[in-house]
Chains A and B, each alone.
Chain A
Amino acid sequence: MKSLLEQTLDQINSVILGKRHTVRLTLCCLLARGHLLIEDVPGVGKTTLAHALAKSLGLSMRRIQFTSDLLPADIIGNSIFDRNEQKFVFHPGPLFAQMVLADEVNRASPKAQSALLEAMEERQVTIDGITHPLPQPFFVIATQNPLHQIGTYPLPESQLDRFLMRVELGFPDREAERGMLLGGDRHDLVRELNPILTMENLIKWQEQVRQVHVSEPILEYVLDLLEASRRNQPAGGGLSPRAGMALQRCAQAWALMEGRQMVYPEDIQAVASSVMSHRLGRSWSEAGEEGMTAAERLIRSVPVR
């Protein structure tokens, strides 16, 4: 099983060069049944990553390019009156796919954004009083340009909480970039990828993630982290209970990917940065010092027992 996972990772890493950790986190997020937010400047391979992932996992994939005039119906679909049948027929939108790539999600209006986010959260869509379940597994990768870019609607903090992880790709290092220049077109490479995992495998593993043992000291550690994040914060600052659950679930998935049936504190720490950075309040991120991110500072303030 581990080999299958490693194979998948290797395959993706052959397309996305020099981003082993990020790729691993992405897969971890998928196993933890969460949605992923990739935030970075254009051109670093966000879309390629999503494509490679979908291809390697053998998932059906739809891409939605978010623009400022995108309407909710463009995402989730709408009911159209069928003259022959004499009733409304639901025409599913691009959201009805196992993997949805929501490209540049912060370019769309808040209305369209929230339509996507609600569907993400509930894993179903309700139109005209009829509930349509989304396919299983359902995995959204949203990409977002950094906020200082012109013409964006930043996602509100409350909505950010719905993404299990936020990762940043960042510029590749010199060696990786050289490899990219030497290699062929990325899109061609992606097209050539073969599915390694089956859907059944994926679902089975998602089930196994829940079985990974979380011992009492780990539980205490998570609680300590949550408490520390709330300390000295104005009301409502700090991590939400949902963040705590996310942290635990990601750590379980990470431990499983490491081939373990129990969570170590290192698993928590490995995923902590991606899970917490978009959830920590502004006061955490603003008071940066010593070149550490907010998540790193938080981790260093809590002893492992």
Chain B
Amino acid sequence: MPDGSRAASRERGRPLVSWLRDRHGDHAVSLSREQVYRLLGCFVISVMPQFGNIPLWLLLATAGLVLWRIQQERRESEPPSSVVKLLLGIGFLLGVYVDKGTLTGRDSGTALMVGLIAVKFLELRNRRDYMVLTFVIYFMSVTALLFEQSILVFIYVVICCGCLTVNLITLHSPGPDNTPARSAAQLAFRLIVQGLPLALVLFLFYPRINARYGFNLGSSTSGLPEKIRASSFDSLTEDGSMAFRADFPGGEMPPATSLYWRGFVLWDYNASTNEWQGTSPAQEWRDLTDTPANLVGGKRLLQRITLRAHSQRWLFALDYPAGSAWNGQGELGTGYVLQINRELHRKIQYLVTSLVDSHPLVQSPTMQRASLRIAADLIRPEVRQLAKELRGAGESDEKVVANMLAYYHKNGFEYTTKAENYGDDPLYEFLFVKRRGFCEHFASSFTVVMRLAGVPARVVAGYHGGEYNPYGNFIIVRQLNAHAWSEVFLKGKGWTRVDPTVMATVTHLPAPITPTARQAEPSNRISEALERKWTPDWLPPLAMEGRFRWQLVEEKWDQWVLSYTPELQSDILKDWHLERFSWEFFLLATIFVLFLTIMLVSRSFQRRSTSEEALLAVYADFCAALKNSGVPRYHWEGSTEYSQRAARILPAASKPILRFAREYALLRYGKIAYLEPALGPLREKVEAVREALTQAELHLNQ
């Protein structure tokens, strides 16, 4: 007896399975403790990547509620009254509002969702609540991707969704034993793998809308500060996270000394707060002189930059960007600044061309005024005196710049990465007392003195240097590469970059882009110092290499997944000679994908023993032939009896009929291990029967 039938006979006659009677359906079924725990577990792991994005008090409150729910389950106590839940909900609402100042947007929304899910857990009692909660947690785990788009977070979110799916499966398919979790996990894995092709095609073809209407969002992502004062880069010097990555599709790398990534320009100096502000003049006037045509010299270089969300409106490019970026969304503004019309809240990738080592030749009178504006009477007389001394007896602007740099040199100014304690007037203190500081001390003091001396000057904020990845041929720029430098306008030469941090300090250390052998050029020591911090000496070369490889993976990820834009989508479609995205096409694609999926899945649905069915099909064929000749089979008739009856009624075909019946009965009821080889001859016998019947009919007609 085959195993199946043995199992069948064992199962047969087992007493009643289980029954339940209710008028509301199965959603009223109560949940087991394990199910509640599992969902709580899913919730907790889904919240984990959000730790940095949610206020601490809310996290603690959520943890408290989760513990409360566990306690409830253990003591089997009643859920709290609806008043308590309502109060908790209102409490979260108010708390988030006070904390974030709004209830909409990504940050508040996520925080609120986490809190409300925790409250909902308190009243989780039946299956319907369970399902709804599961769906909401799906959504919540996905919101992690709104904050961070790295490959790791993505994988984590997929795992979260997988866990939730396993949970749903265990809820709806209790297995044969009491430990269905493993088989449920296998099933969930199969579902996800088999759902992949459909997901992929949807990803490729689902029409993207070029979203130019983002809601305003709060954000906590770090980036360059909008205002620069003495210690504004303080927090960045320790921050090893990536700001952006740049690779060079043209294949040509920029020289190491030219790695100045231009961010934005700071025009206004507020002497009372010692702050530089950038945006206001850029918004007030639009200088038509700042066009690519105004740039002289330099080398054209194409860069592809993958920029992480920084919640600001700047795009970065090497000095000086010569044209818009990101398909025109990043416009080239006053001061050769790439500006976008909304804050950036996701990782993007854009192409931009720069003229490296060029400089703008002319400037407008408005810009001239802006670059000389300074409230001199608010500045200490010592500083003004210094400016007067630099100018001396009507020295040229070039000379003034050189004198200032010489001043730094002469007085032993030092660059430091350690925060210094400055008092009320950091400008004075830096120039005359401490003489140690960050790049912004240098840039700020230099620019102020230049303006006091009558040289048009401005502060530029951006990044300097970067880490070169030899495998991917790209440069990773981190937050700790944040830098500020100065530009002065020299008659005849135009705007010229002066980096007092580098040019004025005592020692010149090499290697802005470590650790490769490709540069022997002198450069500043900042990057080197910072790089050393970021890559400790004890890090073995192997780990170093691993890091580079991983960066490469991330680069590919960004290139293929993140930067799949509507433009690229339509490019692909154009390649396939589909000029326009029509609904008909989308419909066709969907049908195709569905068909593909069904084909793929049905592979696992195929029955193993098709031979038996094939045999029955042949028999059905035989019966159909006889039925056509007026001898239908009674359903209780066996094949032998039927064929004998048919042979009596149809004597002309009796021989093939009986021959078939003998063979069929042997195959059907005998001990046959492999049916397949016998099926072909059997089919031929049916054909013989058919033929004999047709012959007989022909005779009859004649």
Of all chain A residues, the one with the shortest Cβ separation from B667 is A215
Of all chain B residues, the one with the shortest Cβ separation from A216 is B5
CA distance A299 to B637 in the complex (A): 9
Contact B636 A216 (CB under 8 A): no
Stretch at the interface among B178-186, B216-224, B668-676, B681-689: B668-676
Contact B636 A215 (CB under 8 A): no
Contact A213 B636 (CB under 8 A): no
With beta carbons under 8 angstroms apart, the residue of B5, B636, B671 that contacts A304 is: B636
Chain B contacts of A265 at CB under 8 A?
638-641, 669
Contact A219 B5 (CB under 8 A): yes
With beta carbons under 8 angstroms apart, the residue of A213, A261, A304 that contacts B638 is: A304
Chain B contacts of A277 at CB under 8 A?
none
With beta carbons under 8 angstroms apart, the residue of A261, A263, A304 that contacts B635 is: A304
Per-position binary interface string of chain B over residues 280-309, scored 1 when its CB falls under 8 Å from any chain A CB and 0 otherwise: 000000000000000000000000000000
Chain B contacts of A42 at CB under 8 A?
none
Chain A contacts of B640 at CB under 8 A?
264-266
Chain A contacts of B665 at CB under 8 A?
264
Of all chain A residues, the one with the shortest Cβ separation from B633 is A304
Chain B contacts of A300 at CB under 8 A?
634, 636
Per-position binary interface string of chain B over residues 616-640, scored 1 when its CB falls under 8 Å from any chain A CB and 0 otherwise: 1000000000000000001111111
Known: A213-B670, A264-B665. A219 touches B638 (CB 8 A): no
B619 to chain A, nearest CB (A): 10
CA distance A32 to B639 in the complex (A): 24
Contact B638 A266 (CB under 8 A): yes
Q: Is A133 an interface residue, CB under 8 A from the partner?
A: no
Of all chain B residues, the one with the shortest Cβ separation from A227 is B12
Q: Is A151 an interface residue, CB under 8 A from the partner?
A: no
Contact B636 A302 (CB under 8 A): yes
Q: Is B1 an interface residue, CB under 8 A from the partner?
A: yes
B353 to chain A, nearest CB (A): 76
Q: Is B2 an interface residue, CB under 8 A from the partner?
A: yes
Of all chain B residues, the one with the shortest Cβ separation from A302 is B636
B670 to chain A, nearest CB (A): 5
Contact A215 B638 (CB under 8 A): no
Contact B671 A266 (CB under 8 A): no
Contact B669 A303 (CB under 8 A): no
Of all chain B residues, the one with the shortest Cβ separation from A265 is B638
Known: A219-B1, A223-B12. A262 touches B670 (CB 8 A): yes
Q: Is A269 an interface residue, CB under 8 A from the partner?
A: yes
Contact A217 B668 (CB under 8 A): yes
CA distance A219 to B670 in the complex (A): 13
A267-298 residues with Cβ-Cβ distance < 8 A to B are 269
Contact B637 A304 (CB under 8 A): yes
Known: A264-B640, A266-B640, A266-B641. A215 touches B668 (CB 8 A): yes
Q: Is A218 an interface residue, CB under 8 A from the partner?
A: yes
Count residues of chain B with CB under 8 A from any CB of chain A: 19
Chain B contacts of A220 at CB under 8 A?
5
Of all chain B residues, the one with the shortest Cβ separation from A241 is B13
A180-229 residues with Cβ-Cβ distance < 8 A to B are 213, 215-220, 223
CA distance A302 to B2 in the complex (A): 23
Chain A contacts of B636 at CB under 8 A?
269, 299-304
Per-position binary interface string of chain B over residues 636-655, scored 1 when its CB falls under 8 Å from any chain A CB and 0 otherwise: 11111100000000000000
Contact B635 A215 (CB under 8 A): no
Chain A contacts of B638 at CB under 8 A?
264-266, 269, 304
Contact B669 A262 (CB under 8 A): yes
CA distance A219 to B669 in the complex (A): 10
B500 to chain A, nearest CB (A): 92
CA distance A70 to B233 in the complex (A): 119
CA distance A43 to B304 in the complex (A): 112
B208 to chain A, nearest CB (A): 55
Known: A219-B5, A223-B12. A264 touches B669 (CB 8 A): yes
Contact A215 B669 (CB under 8 A): yes
User: Does more than half of chain A's interface fall in helix, strand or loop, or is it mixed?
Assistant: helix
CA distance A301 to B639 in the complex (A): 17
B108 to chain A, nearest CB (A): 64
Of all chain B residues, the one with the shortest Cβ separation from A304 is B638
Of all chain B residues, the one with the shortest Cβ separation from A255 is B669
B673 to chain A, nearest CB (A): 12
Chain B contacts of A262 at CB under 8 A?
666, 669-671
CA distance A213 to B672 in the complex (A): 11
CA distance A305 to B666 in the complex (A): 15
Known: A223-B12, A299-B636, A303-B635. A215 touches B641 (CB 8 A): no
A287 to chain B, nearest CB (A): 18
Chain B contacts of A266 at CB under 8 A?
638, 640-641
Chain A contacts of B639 at CB under 8 A?
264-265, 304
B1-47 residues with Cβ-Cβ distance < 8 A to A are 1-2, 5, 12
Chain B contacts of A301 at CB under 8 A?
636
A249 to chain B, nearest CB (A): 15
Of all chain B residues, the one with the shortest Cβ separation from A300 is B636
Chain B contacts of A216 at CB under 8 A?
2, 5
CA distance A220 to B5 in the complex (A): 9
Per-position binary interface string of chain A over residues 221-260, scored 1 when its CB falls under 8 Å from any chain B CB and 0 otherwise: 0010000000000000000000000000000000000000
Chain B contacts of A261 at CB under 8 A?
670-671
Chain A contacts of B616 at CB under 8 A?
305
Known: A219-B5, A299-B636. A263 touches B641 (CB 8 A): no
CA distance A232 to B347 in the complex (A): 70
Of all chain B residues, the one with the shortest Cβ separation from A223 is B12
B372 to chain A, nearest CB (A): 100
CA distance A216 to B639 in the complex (A): 16
B90-127 residues with Cβ-Cβ distance < 8 A to A are none
CA distance A186 to B634 in the complex (A): 43
CA distance A261 to B666 in the complex (A): 10
CA distance A175 to B640 in the complex (A): 30
Chain B contacts of A302 at CB under 8 A?
636
CA distance A136 to B671 in the complex (A): 31
Chain A contacts of B1 at CB under 8 A?
219
B172 to chain A, nearest CB (A): 30
Chain B contacts of A218 at CB under 8 A?
669
Chain A contacts of B669 at CB under 8 A?
213, 215, 217-218, 262-265
B4 to chain A, nearest CB (A): 8
CA distance A161 to B536 in the complex (A): 91
Chain A contacts of B671 at CB under 8 A?
213, 215, 261-262
CA distance A217 to B5 in the complex (A): 10
With beta carbons under 8 angstroms apart, the residue of B12, B634, B670 that contacts A215 is: B670
Chain B contacts of A304 at CB under 8 A?
635-639
Chain B contacts of A217 at CB under 8 A?
668-669
CA distance A218 to B616 in the complex (A): 14
CA distance A219 to B636 in the complex (A): 15
B210 to chain A, nearest CB (A): 62
A90-148 residues with Cβ-Cβ distance < 8 A to B are none
A104 to chain B, nearest CB (A): 36
CA distance A264 to B616 in the complex (A): 15
CA distance A303 to B75 in the complex (A): 57
Interface centre among B12, B638, B665 (most CB of A within 10 A): B638
A181 to chain B, nearest CB (A): 34
CA distance A299 to B639 in the complex (A): 15
Per-position binary interface string of chain B over residues 587-629, scored 1 when its CB falls under 8 Å from any chain A CB and 0 otherwise: 0000000000000000000000000000010000000000000
Known: A269-B636, A269-B638. 12 other contacts (CB 8 A): A215-B670, A220-B5, A261-B670, A262-B671, A264-B640, A265-B640, A266-B638, A266-B640, A300-B636, A302-B636, A304-B635, A305-B616
Residues of A within 8 A of B (CB): 213, 215-220, 223, 261-266, 269, 299-305
Residues of B within 8 A of A (CB): 1-2, 5, 12, 616, 634-641, 665-666, 668-671
Q: Which 6 A-B pairs rank lowest in CB-CB distance, beginning with the nearest?
A: A265-B638, A303-B635, A215-B669, A266-B638, A262-B670, A300-B636
25 examples of A-B residue contacts, CB within 8 angstroms:
A213-B669, A213-B670, A213-B671, A215-B669, A215-B670, A215-B671, A216-B5, A217-B668, A223-B12, A261-B670, A261-B671, A262-B666, A264-B639, A265-B638, A265-B641, A266-B640, A269-B636, A269-B638, A269-B641, A300-B636, A302-B636, A303-B635, A304-B635, A304-B636, A304-B637
